[in-house]
Amino acid sequence: MNRLSAWLAILALTVPLAAPAQLPDAVDGEPLPSLAPMLERTTPAVVNIATTGRVQLRENPLFQDPFFQRFFDLPDRPRERATQSLGSGVIIDAERGHILTNHHVIARADEIRVTLADGRELSASVVGSDPDTDVAVIRVEGNALQAIPMADSDSLRVGDFVVAIGNPFGLGQTVTSGIVSALGRSGLNLSSYQDYIQTDASINPGNSGGALVNLRGELVGINTAILAPAGGNIGIGFAIPVNMAISIMQQLVDHGEVSRGQLGVSIQDLPPQLAQAFGLDRERGVVVTQVLPGSPAEQAGVRTGDVIREVNGRSIQNASELRNAIGLLRSGDEAELRLHRDGESVTVVAEIGAITQATLDGSTLSPRLEGARFGMLEVSGPRSTEQRVGVAEITDGSPAQRAGLRRDDIILSVNRQPVSSLSDLRQQAEGSRELLLHIQRGSGALFLLLR
């Protein structure tokens, strides 16, 4: 029994009846509400996705030693293993065969097979994929495809009924129901840009990339992840809002990639004490703590101490919302910023600039860092953003990867000396026979010793 039916059943039981209470066949001559008619219209737009691929295995560093390889006559090539993945997707454009799904569903896939609700199996190709938002678009060629209608996810409210449709555990198309438990969830270390819908509709492995719809059968989100400390569903699932997913999809379809721009500011949330200090009656917006020289923000007239409250008419509540709003714009787009400055409201227009940053090739520092490229990465916490030295790129199978480095690792120190810039990294690492790296990875930290 779904939640809506259960609620109506409880309501019916409160009406005095002469006979023992029982579930009626109809209410006021009308049949009991059912989600079946909506699902009959919606489920043909949700597909199952199966992928196959290959990944390189991490080996003991001893196996990479040339002397060890010669002594034991080991082959000098990386070991691989076959991988399989199951997920879901949603048909957005039936005419062009475009399907929206998660990046992690199709990442490193050599072959993608899509199974439609009517049982047809089609081969798919990747149109584009964006790991920073975990959004991907794939394409199939087939007749009589059915696209899903879309809602405005900005109009969602906590408490709205929603239905999740997907392929959990490879069982085949499955429907679960729940409500919107929360909006604007971030700080979950799931992707770089986070603005998740939280729901208690049951989401499990295989649901990734599937549809979260309202009771009209309109797409409100793309199911992405669950919080599962014990390995199973506990009623805390997350979906990417459809407005964000469609914005990313349009860039992937038009350009094959997402070309993000930057505003050029460091920011922090506005707690009540700061709000009072800035003369605001409520803590809505973010405080500019630094304006980078030559940045679009500086050119537009943004100053340190300004409180950014709106971007292109969209209200900004916290640092995460500002980062998402700017991150969805392309280089060259304009951003109209409404600021609070010295007790007055000020509006400026900034032309979003391309993200250009210096990088450092790891091979110029040490042979052990070959294959890694370091840069200044934007680290976003729940209440602020800042620039830190990190691994911007890494090559599969390279010495740096075999040593344990991963993309987006933040370098906190080298040989116990703190690192806050690329010049610091060069000074501490260049020419060192041994490297002790202190690394932040996600919400954890570790030491790596490279010899």
- Which residue in 416, 417, 420, 407 sits closest to 362, CA to CA? 407
A 10 A CB-CB count for 318 gives 20
Give CA angle at 8 (5, 13), nearest 5°: 125
**What b-and-e string marks burial along 242-267, b requiring 16 or more CB atoms within 10 Å of the CB?**
bbbbbbbbebbbeeeebebbbbbbbb
- Which residue in 394, 387, 388 sits closest to 361, CA to CA? 394
Give me the catalytic one of 153, 177, 181, 208: 208
Give me the catalytic one of 134, 269, 306, 409: 134
Query: Which amino acid, one-letter code, is at 77?
Result: R
- Distance (Å, rounded) from C-alpha 107 to C-alpha 126? 10
Give me the catalytic one of 104, 129, 306, 340: 104
134 is catalytic: yes
Tens digits of pLDDT across the chain (451 residues): 454 444 444 334 344 444 444 555 666 667 778 889 999 999 999 999 999 877 655 555 544 555 445 555 555 555 566 777 788 999 999 999 999 999 999 988 889 999 999 889 999 999 999 988 899 999 999 898 999 999 999 899 999 999 999 888 877 888 999 999 998 887 666 666 778 899 999 888 888 899 999 999 999 999 988 776 665 667 788 999 999 999 899 989 988 888 777 788 888 888 787 777 777 776 678 888 888 777 888 899 999 889 998 998 888 888 878 888 887 787 788 889 999 888 888 999 998 876 655 678 888 888 889 889 898 777 766 566 667 889 988 988 888 898 899 988 999 999 988 988 888 888 888 877 788 999 998 878 889 888 7
Q: Is the separation of the CB atoms in 201 and 162 below 8 Å?
A: yes
- Distance (Å, rounded) from C-alpha 400 to C-alpha 406? 8
CA dihedral for 403, 404, 405, 409, sign (positive or negative): negative
- Which residue in 350, 325, 125, 358 sits closest to 244, CA to CA? 325
What does residue 192 show for φ and ψ, rounded to 5 degrees? Answer: -75, -35
- Distance (Å, rounded) from C-alpha 436 to C-alpha 429? 9
pTM, rounded to two decimals: 0.67
Q: Is the separation of the CB atoms in 144 and 89 below 8 Å?
A: no
Annotate 163-213 with DSSP letters as a single string: EEEE-GGG--SEEEEEEEEEEEE--SSS-SS--EEEE-S---TT-TT-EEE
Q: Is the separation of the CB atoms in 143 and 121 below 8 Å?
A: no
74 CB-near residues (< 8 Å, 6+ apart): 63, 68
- Any idea what DSSP says for residue 32? P
The rounded radius of gyration (Å) of the Cα atoms in the chain is 26
Q: Which residue has the tokens 């919080």?
A: 227
315 is catalytic: no
Question: What size, in residues, is the chain?
Answer: 451
104 CB-near residues (< 8 Å, 6+ apart): 131, 134, 208
Map out the domains of the chain with their CATH numbers.
3-34 (no CATH), 43-140 (2.40.10.120), 153-255 (2.40.10.10), 261-354 (2.30.42.10), 360-450 (2.30.42.10)
Locate the DSSP E strands across 395-450.
Answer: 410-414, 417-418, 435-441, 444-450
SS3 384: strand
What does residue 246 show for φ and ψ, rounded to 5 degrees? Answer: -70, -35
- Distance (Å, rounded) from C-alpha 351 to C-alpha 15? 62
Task: Give 123-163 pLDDT, tens digit per residue.
Answer: 999 999 998 889 999 999 989 899 999 999 989 999 999 99
**What b-and-e string marks burial along 283-313, b requiring 16 or more CB atoms within 10 Å of the CB?**
bbbbbbeebeeebbbbebebeeebbbbbbee
104 is catalytic: yes
Tokens describing residue 80: 């691989």
